[in-house]
Structure 1
Amino acid sequence: MSSDRLALITTDPAVLSGQAVIAGTRVPVSVVLDCLAAGMSPEEIVAEYLTLTSEGVQAAAVRGAAGP
């Protein structure tokens, strides 16, 4: 499951200077992790960033747990 989720994380030098983002969005993984650290639920994050899906939030959490 982790590798499937990690496939939702992309980097592209032309998008946000190569920051890791959720595929198909311009939402950086770091923003999602900050939201989770601030106590937001995945549902609240998806509601705040309409291009995200719950799978994208889970992918960010997996990436955060895996480290840089």
Structure 2
Amino acid sequence: MLERISIDPEICHGKACIKGTRVPVHLILEMLAAGDSFADILESYPFLTEDDIRAAIAYASLLATEEIRTIPTVA
């Protein structure tokens, strides 16, 4: 799935996009979070596929599994 995601500094300021498009992954995720269905997204972006939407979800899942460590601030 992740081969459907590209990150190119020359496209969308380097944000993760669906490969071959200028549709950022975050836009798809925002639409899903707002309650839009796959069908809604495909109606808005007919050149995308259901697998592209699934790839966006898989990419978000990968990012969510990263371990975040806080750095103590100096008072």
Q: 1:31 aligns with which of 7, 10, 27?
A: 27
Shift of residue 53 of structure 1?
Answer: 1.1
Instruction: Give the total of aligned pairs.
Output: 64
Corresponding residue number in structure 2 for 1:53: 49
| Rounded Cα–Cα distance in structure 2 between residues aligned with 1:60 and 1:33 | 7
SS at match of 1:17: helix
Q: With CA pairs under 8 Å and 6+ residues apart, which has the higher RCO, 1 or 2?
A: 1
For structure 1, the residue ranges without an aligned partner over 5 or more in a row are none
TM-score, structure 2 normalization: 0.79
Residues 7-61 of structure 1: CA deviation (Å, up to 9, x unaligned): 1000111111111000111100000000110111111101111221111000001
Corresponding residue number in structure 2 for 1:42: 38
- In terms of fraction of residues, the more helix-rich structure is 1
TM-score, structure 1 normalization: 0.86
Superposed structure 1 runs of 4+ greater than 6 Å apart = none
For structure 2, the residue ranges without an aligned partner over 5 or more in a row are 65-75
